[in-house]
Structure formats: C-alpha cells, structure tokens
Amino acid sequence: MKTQVYNQKGEKKESISLNEEIFGVPLNSDLVHQVAVSQMSNKRRNIACTKDRSEVRGGGKKPWRQKGTGRARHGSNRSPIWKGGGVTFGPRKERNFKKKIPSKMKRKAFFMVLSEKLRNDSLIVLDKLEIKDKKTKEMAKILGNLPCKEKKCLIGLRENNKDILLSTNNIPGVSVKEVRNLNVLDLLSKKYLLVTKDAVKKIEEVFSPSKEKVKS
C-alpha cells in the first residue's frame, strides 16, 4: 500500500509504502463508535451535584404541631416537597461515567480510522516539517500549500516540537499531538491527519500488530 509524500511547498516528491496491517484495515463502524463513545465518557467530568434533605441547611424545628391545625403533617421544611428543600434523585458526584474497552479493540478501531483517512485522501504525508521563524504566518502558508487548506487538521509529530506548537496556536481548527498519544477520538475530531515520514515510522513502531502478538 502506497501514498504520496509532499514537501512544504505542496509538491509531490515521492511515494512510500505503508504497513497494510495498520493502514489497510476494513472499517467496522460499530466498533469505531463504541470506542469513541467510551473515550468521550472517560473524558467526562462529573460537575453537577445536588443536595438531598440531609445536606440542606435548616429544618431543625417542626413547622407546626402534629394535630389540630387542619393542615397536613410535616416534620421538616427541608423535605423535597417543600420549596428550598432537598432534591430527590438529582445528579450526584458519586456517579461514575467511566467505560472500559479492551486495548485490542481500541487498537483495532484506531487502525480502522487511519485506514479510512488514507482511503479518503485525508492522510497527508510530508517529507519534513520545519519552521524557521516560529510564526503563525509561516505555518499557515505551509498548510495553504497542502490538500488540507482551510480545513480542520491534526498534525501528528514524531516527538514534541515547541516551535511547531507555538506557530499553530492561533490557527483555527488546527491542533498538534505526538503520534504515540493519538487515539480514535483525536482522529475523528479532524478531517485531515498531517504527518511526516518520521512520524509514520513512529506509528508503525509503536502500534505494530506484530508486537501485540508477541505480548499475547
């Protein structure tokens, strides 16, 4: 399986071979959806929390005597049926949104999304990515020369590069991440994945299916 390699001017330089076990996997949309939902759930923060009747302030005194008033009996004005009382069945901080997905399923879904990007011409490989002046203008010019022009793009790096990170901070829809930390949600959130030749090798090193077989 081969794909074109571009330079920073947008010119096609050569073609490289890609690992079919990573970039040639048929799509199973149900598996990708399951993994994406689990990753979104794991990122979810439990913020909302209501107070029940034991946590609401006040309510120590009985509102009125038990009998003889003609009104319904009540023991506390902090009851959920009173205004200002506790909340029944409200959201609590104890709720856990975490969802466990086997690592093999996550890895397989990751390969599927990578393969789809390649099939849809949304995987762009550069021979190198170098920024001299650390300016947004320079990075915007490079992206403008490539097929990902004016589109949401994820730049995958072999290793962290502060210059590239600084030059992309002010470009809407563009984000930067090391390829070893990529996941299904990252790939689905952007239309294009822009990687260098070195980053492709890093993906094949880190996510090689042969290594998974050796571990098992």
The ranges assigned to domains in the chain are: 2-44+98-215, 46-96
Give the per-residue pLDDT at 212.
58
Say if residue 214's pLDDT is above 50: no
Residue listed under structure tokens 């099939």: 119
Please return the burial class of 174, using the count of CB atoms within 10 Å of its CB with bins 0-12, 13-18 and 19+: buried
Closest CA to 22 of 100, 123, 95: 123
State the DSSP H helix or E strand holding residue 107, giving kind and residue range, or none if neither: helix 103-119
Q: What are phi and psi of 115, to 5 degrees?
A: -65, -40
Predicted confidence band of residue 184 (pLDDT cuts 50, 70, 90): very high
**With pLDDT > 70 as the criterion, what percentage of the chain qualifies?**
96
Higher local confidence (pLDDT), 2 or 40: 40
Q: What is the pLDDT of residues 2-26, one digit of tens each?
A: 899 999 888 888 889 999 999 999 9
* Cα 164 from Cα 126, distance rounded (Å): 14
Q: What is the pLDDT of residues 75-127, one digit of tens each?
A: 999 999 999 999 999 999 888 889 999 999 999 999 999 999 999 999 999 99
Global pTM value: 0.81
Q: What is the mean pLDDT of the chain?
A: 90
Interval 146-152 mean pLDDT: 80
Fold of 2-44+98-215: Ribosomal Protein L4; Chain: A; (3.40.1370)
Interval 142-146 mean pLDDT: 90
